[in-house]
Homo-oligomer: A and B are copies of this chain.
Amino acid sequence: MIASEVSTDDKKFLKLAVNLARRNVGLTGKNPSVGCIITYEDIIIGRGNTQIGGRPHAEVMAIKQASEHYLFKKNRKTKNINVYITLEPCAHETTSPSCAKEIVNFGANRVIYLATDPDNRTNGKGKLLMEEAGIKCVEAKIYKNENSDILKGYLKQKKIGLPYITLKIGSTMNGKIATKNGESKWITNSTCRKRVQLLRSECDGILIGKNSIIVDNPRLNLRDQFEEIENKPIFILDTNLELSGFQSLSIFEKAGKDKVHIITSKELKEKTINESDFFTRVSIENAKMVQDSLNLQEILKIVSRVGVNRLLVEGGAKVWTSFLKTGFFDEIVMFTGNKIMNDSATSCFNDFLPIDTQLGDFPNLTLTSLLKWKDNIEAKWIANS
């Protein structure tokens, strides 16, 4: 557990494991995206990361590769094998043996991992299982920022049962998201719009308000270099189920029941459902009202139930404001275009605190990254908890 147990070489291999884990962020479903490196006398003999959909796990991939390496085949009995993983290996058996058991069977001298898996079925049990087999286990506790960024959705979901929430906003330099007439194409440039594709690829689900769907008619799909990736589940907040009158919108074109979820306060009669083709193509979920909005906590429970660990909230102003108001957000990725608009154009946020709130009582964020894309800005702001 102490830092001195982690050598410079260990750090190097752990860094490589982090890089491997980075690759499949947003593509591993409910499972965390993990990276694994296996060395024999400081020579890498196996690399693995969690595969698309969540299985096989990183350790299994790395062990498979290492098993076929000539150095391993030749020196099968050696104890000079280290396994580097970004997360404690799982201890629970599903259709296949647990990763902890796989490592024991493979035979390692040391296992160094970056964080304990908070999943109740593991949470130290993976470590125990390997220690009982005589393997030395070390929780390195380094690369915390990089690894947390990869695991943030999984860790938050396991710890408090809520997804990690990113508000994605595209605004003018004075914070406007659309003209008075609703025009917003395009406030940010094509590079920023590609970055949005990256954000979509890295999340597990997209949440958006009914108004944005009607006004912007977005596809919310993955395109360009991301088009091979399966589209993410979409959650539309539609209090009064008005979208049933807009069935020709792009989002419903190729909708399958498990992809588009409409969250509404309106209870549907079975008759209505059976009579309309629309309700066979979308999934209707119910949430209660709190004042004049849908209950956000209920919404997030629905999102979690669908298996979303990382949620991208694409707007609009009313939706972002409700996340701001309730504090249910973790970060804001703000794309700033190079336009100035009238003040009476649509703002990115509405009022979210009482009118007489003092300066010191408005929330502070932490700026963790700032990028210039030609004449546009991408800034990542983390909520201070």
Q: Interface residues, chain A, CB within 8 Å of chain B?
A: 171-176, 179-181, 183-185, 187, 324, 332, 334, 336, 338-344, 347-353, 355-359, 362-367, 370, 372, 374-377, 379, 381
Contacts and interface: CB of A to CB of B under 8 A. Distances in A.
Contacts of A175: 173-176, 347
Q: Is the interface of A mostly helix, strand, loop or mixed?
A: loop
A375 B370 contact: no
Given A336-B379, A342-B357, A377-B379, 5 more contacts: A171-B174, A173-B332, A173-B365, A175-B175, A180-B355
A93 to B, nearest CB: 46
Contacts of A350: 342-343
Give the number of times this chain occurs in the complex, counting copies. 2
- Most chain B CB within 10 A, of A324, A347, A367, is at A367
Nearest to A184: B359
Contacts of A180: 355-357
Nearest to A374: B367
Contacts of A336: 379
B339 A355 contact: no
Given A174-B175, A372-B367, A183 B342 contact: no
A365 B374 CA distance: 11
Contact of A372 (B359, B370, B376): B370
A355 to B, nearest CB: 6
B357 A179 contact: yes
Contact of A185 (B179, B183, B359): B359
A339 B342 CA distance: 21
A358 B173 contact: no
A239 B173 CA distance: 29
Nearest to A371: B370
